[in-house]
Homo-oligomer: A and B are copies of this chain.
Amino acid sequence: MHPFTDNPAEAISALGEQKLIAAIRRWLGNATPPSPFGIGDDCAVLPRSSRRTLVTVDPVIHGKHFDATVPPRAVGEKLLKRNLSDIAAMGGRPRAAVVALALDAKISTRWLAAFYRGLASASRRYRVPIVGGDISHQPGGFAATLTLIGEASAKRVLTRTGAKNGDWIYVTGTLGGSILGHHYRFTPRLDEGRWLAALPEVRSMMDLSDGLAKDLAALTPADAVPALEAGAIPISPAARRLAARTSGKTALHHALADGEDYELLFTLATRADRAAFEATWKRKFPSTRLSCLGRFARATLPEHLNLHVVHGYEHLRQTS
């Protein structure tokens, strides 16, 4: 479905702000609590929590994070899920979200209704109420920016800093080719993230958004380099399909460089009992693949992957 319409009767401009807000509350249904805990006051009010607060913000923008080929429900789900993936990456638990819309008056009401129903569906599935937001007019586009408030689930918040030379490098799921659908069909790894944050031998973690080759740098200690085994990279079926279609890149290249995997990348201390760790993982998360890609070392050997030949997604560069 196309987000924009040239028929004024089918566009949100036919509603005006008050009716649009009423419609959004209807579309969200029980995914938004009554005010002041939800939409309708100057701020949303969240109950007390004895834990540290986590905050993350990510948008979905038309032409950038989705186009007319992605169903509007899936766009709404993606908006919440990509922020949930950030909470998962710190081992946290989500609490509530606010959504700021910047949209053209020509946005189709039917499209927007489906977008909000998708958001509401994800909100219920992950138990994250949509507690407020803002609507502003911005000619020519559609951007929805969601800020997710969470809380630490363990004593520790698992950050990107902490890996040491010698640590093992792990990743969940399979990588690459998200453009074929995974970029909105993924499952944020909340349970896995919380479990990992409770283990002291897990020393650092992040979620993959710009591709392994680029993102791994954020976990790499200053005095080490990642020594990865090419055969250990979990290449997704989509990455293989993409490589078969176009002759430009190998499936491995897609797995290393494509963005929007939304998988967890983490490091395990050298001293950890890897066999026991992996056996427990299989019992706890039988349907989430886990791969050990290699470890941090002082230097790479010729048989290790050379990450410099591929690049993750670099934003804002003009390609003209």
CB-based contact A13/B317 at 8 Å = yes
Give chain B residues whose Cβ lies under 8 Å from the Cβ of A42. Answer: 56, 86-87, 89-90, 160, 206-207
Query: 1/0 per position for A45-82, CB-CB distance to B under 8 A?
Result: 11111111111111101011100000000000000000
Confirm or deny: A157 has a beta carbon within 8 angstroms of a beta carbon on chain B: yes
**Are A16 and B141 in touch, CB under 8 angstroms?**
no
* CB-defined contacts of A48 to chain B, threshold 8 Å: 50-53
Contact A143 B140 (CB under 8 A): no
Option from B55, B138, B149 in Cβ contact (under 8 Å) with A141: B138
CB pair B134–A59 under 8 Å, yes or no, is yes
Least CB distance from A319 to B in Å reads 10
Interface flag for A98 (CB, 8 Å): yes
Q: Are B45 and A102 in contact (CB under 8 A)?
A: no
Residue of B whose beta carbon sits closest to that of A106: B318
Query: Does A271 make an interface contact (CB < 8 A)?
Result: no
- On chain A, the number of residues with a Cβ less than 8 Å from chain B's Cβ atoms is 73
Question: How many identical subunits does the complex contain?
Answer: 2
CB <8 Å contact, A149 and B152: no
Q: Is A223 an interface residue (CB 8 A)?
A: no
Say yes or no: A100 contacts B58, CB within 8 Å.
Answer: yes
**Secondary structure at chain A's binding surface: helix, strand, loop or mixed?**
mixed
The distance in angstroms between the C-alpha atoms of A140 and B161, with both chains bound, is 36
A316 with B102, Cβ < 8 A, contacts A48-B52, A206-B42 known: no
Are the CB atoms of B57 and A134 closer together than 8 Å? yes
Say whether A127 faces chain B, with CB atoms less than 8 Å apart: no
Q: Is the CB of A315 within 8 A of B136?
A: yes
With a cutoff of 8 Å between Cβ atoms, the chain B residues found around residue A51 in the complex are 48
Quick one: CB contact mask for A237-255 with B, threshold 8 Å, 1 for yes?
0000000000000000000
Q: When chains A and B are docked, how far (Å) is the Cα of A161 from the Cα of B42?
A: 11
Contact (Cβ within 8 A) B57 A132: yes
Write the residues of chain A forming the contact surface with B, with a CB cutoff of 8 angstroms: 8, 12-13, 15-18, 20, 35-36, 40-59, 61, 63-65, 86-87, 89-90, 92, 96, 98-100, 102, 105, 131-141, 143, 145, 147, 149-150, 152, 157, 159-161, 206-207, 314-318
